[in-house]
Structure 1
Amino acid sequence: MKNSALIAVMAFTLTACSQGVEQMSDRTASPCGDKPNCVSTIDNREKHSIAPYTLKADTTIDDIESIALTLAGAKTAEKEGNYLRIECTSKIMRFVDDLELKIEGNNLVVRSESRTGYSDFGVNRKRANELRSKLKDANLLAL
């Protein structure tokens, strides 16, 4: 009986964590909430803040998308105008994080947040830093 209950709880948990593409509004202009599972270029609180991304002239959302899709577990969820939302799904537990990117002038607004849980153990900050590194390697960032 205990094994059956454990299996049922695990199945429910894994199903709840493997969320597919959802419609959601553009949150790039919104600061992160209070949970430590989000980073953003527009949030000025130390635990959520990441440095600005300044793009080279003529960088397009298509350029950004091609780089963002090389991140682990990444797939395009939404793309409209200069806005892009990438879903990044973890391999084992299938947790989904939303990486939102928006070109505003020569700046790339970046917001990466976990959909579930309280802490992300630094995963979103690592993803944002990896994206910065890849954009820099692709010569898309102004120095």
Structure 2
Amino acid sequence: MKKLLLTLVSSSLLVACSQRTESMEDKSIAPCGDKPNCISTLDEREEFTVKPFILTSSANMKAISHIASQLKGAKLVDINNDYARIECTSSVFRFVDDLELRIYGNTLIVRSESRTGYSDFGVNRKRVEKLRTLLEEKGLISQ
């Protein structure tokens, strides 16, 4: 009986953990930490910063998040009028990075951070610059 109970409890915990959808706090305006696995338009430190994204008059979060969802491994998980969070999952090790976008006036705040690990080996910076290129091509940000 104890074995059966232990098996049932273990199974239910595994199923619950595998299907859990985790609510993430909005870090879009937070500075990056000290680990080299984050990049942000708001961070002033050279190794963590990326130049601003200046929006055009036709830009809106729906269009921006649609473009961001086309990035490799990207999945839109949260959106409203001025904020979107996209989870970007690596193809080999299934690491998840959070790409957060926030419209503030005529700028787009962009923050991309790895959830785990110390270094991202430049993956977040490459992602943000790819997003910049795509948004420029669609006329949603100016050069």
Conservation of the 8 A alpha-carbon contact between 1:35 and 1:119:
yes
Is the CA contact 1:21–1:77 (under 8 Å) kept in the aligned structure 2?
Answer: no
1:7 match: none
* Structure 2 equivalent of residue 104 of structure 1: 104
Question: Could you say which structure has the larger radius of gyration?
Answer: 2
1:1-143 equivalences under 5 Å are 21-143=21-143
Q: Which amino acid aligns with 1:136?
A: E
Post-superposition, which runs of at least 4 consecutive aligned residues in structure 1 deviate over 6 A?
Answer: none
Counterpart of 1:134 in 2: which secondary structure?
helix
Secondary structure of 1:125's match? helix
* Distance in 1 of aligned mates of 2:37 and 2:19: 17
TM-score, normalising length: structure 2: 0.84
The residue type equivalent to 1:77 in the other structure is V
Q: Contact between 2:75 and 2:88, CA under 8 Å: does it hold in 1?
A: yes
What is the one-letter code of the residue matched to 2:128?
A
Do the aligned residues in 2 keep the contact of 1:28 with 1:101 (CA within 8 Å)?
Answer: yes
Root-mean-square deviation (Å): 1.6
Letter in 1 for 2:68: A
Residues 29/94 of structure 1: CA separation in 2 closer, same or farther (3 Å cut)? same
Preserved contact between residue 21 and residue 87 of structure 1 (Cα < 8 Å): no
Structure 1 gap ranges (5+): 1-17
Q: Residues of 2 paired with 1:27 and 1:96: CA distance? A: 15
- Unpaired segments ≥5 residues, structure 2: 1-17
- Indicate the larger mover: 72-81 or 129-138: 72-81
Q: 1:19, CA displacement in angstroms?
A: 9.8
- Distance between the aligned counterparts of 1:19 and 1:99, measured in 2? 22
Residues in 1 aligned to 2:20 and 2:51: alpha-carbon distance in whole angstroms: 29
* Stretch moving more, 121-130 or 25-34: 25-34
What do the CA deviations read for 1:78-114 (whole angstroms, capped 9, x no partner)? Answer: 1123100000000010000000000011100000000
Rate the CA distance shift 1:116–1:141 in 2: closer, same or farther, 3 A.
same
Relative to structure 1, is the Cα distance of residues 93 and 109 closer, same or farther in structure 2, using a 3 angstrom cutoff?
same
Residue 19 to residue 58, structure 1, CA distance change in 2 (3 Å): farther
Q: Is the contact between residue 99 and residue 111 of structure 2 (CA under 8 Å) also seen in structure 1?
A: yes
1:39 CA displacement: 0.1
